Amino acid sequence: MNNSLIGIEKLLDTDLEELRKVSLDIWYSHYSQIISIEQIDYMLNLMYGVGVIENEILNQGIFYDKVLKDNQFVGYLSYGSETKNNITYLKLHKCYLLSFLHGLGYGQIMLSHVCKKAQEMNLKQIILNVNKRNEKGIKAYTKFGFKIIASEIKNFGNGFVMNDYIMGYDI
């Protein structure tokens, strides 16, 4: 794989519509095997509705980066620092890549980028949630060095739950 063909850059205001389009493609192609279409619709509206991402960036200290391959928007990351039990870590909220690019090493490049961001913020651990049925995601995170550190079932509203592993990576 030629790494020069992939780039990761800060998401711009002008990229928001493209991010929303790519998220639809990613979620419906990948997650329809894991959760219901109704849950996907509900989650997409809550996470990507107009004003949601803007609020996360402007008011919650969450960073968004776009992933480009041959100058095409193919994925994205979002992350920010969080503190729990007096421990501050980098929370990886979103790590998404178009399905046809899975298995080519791009996810590992994306995770390396997040690791670098955590180091720049002087954080020693990255935490993420992954659906327990997301075998591809779990495999990719494990390959990078993440370990399952907990499990949680969280009410997401409208009768939907998130049944996740919490994975951690020590830097």
**pLDDT of 67 above 60:** yes
Three-class secondary structure of residue 51 per DSSP? coil
* 145 touches 112 (CB < 8 A): no
- The per-residue pLDDT for range 6-42, each reduced to its tens digit, is 999 999 999 999 999 999 999 999 999 999 999 999 9
Tens digit of pLDDT for each residue in 140-150? 999 999 999 99
Rounded to the nearest integer, the mean pLDDT of the chain is 95
132 touches 164 (CB < 8 A)? yes
Run of H or E residues at 87: strand 87-97
**Encoding tokens for residue 53?**
């991402």
Confidence of residue 52 (pLDDT cuts 50, 70, 90): very high
Q: How many alpha carbons lie under 13 Å from residue 170 in its C-beta half-sphere? A: 4
Which pLDDT score, from 0 to 100, does residue 50 have? 86
Q: Is the pLDDT of residue 60 over 50?
A: yes
pLDDT tens figures, 69-88:
999 999 999 999 999 999 99
Could you give the residue ranges of the DSSP H alpha helices within the chain? 16-30, 37-48, 52-59, 106-120, 135-144
Tens of pLDDT, residues 101-121 = 999 999 999 999 999 999 999
Residues 6+ apart with CB under 8 A from 97: 26, 67, 74, 75, 106, 107, 110
> At residue 4, does pLDDT exceed 60?
no
- When pLDDT is averaged across residues 86-104 and rounded to a whole number, the result is 96
Q: Domains plus CATH for the chain?
A: 3-170 (3.40.630.30)
Closest CA to 80 of 55, 57, 97, 49: 57
User: What DSSP state is assigned to residue 34?
Assistant: T
Residue 1 has pLDDT above 50, yes or no: no
Instruction: Name the CA radius of gyration of the chain, rounded.
Output: 15
pTM of the model: 0.94
d(CA 36, CA 44) in angstroms, rounded, equals: 12
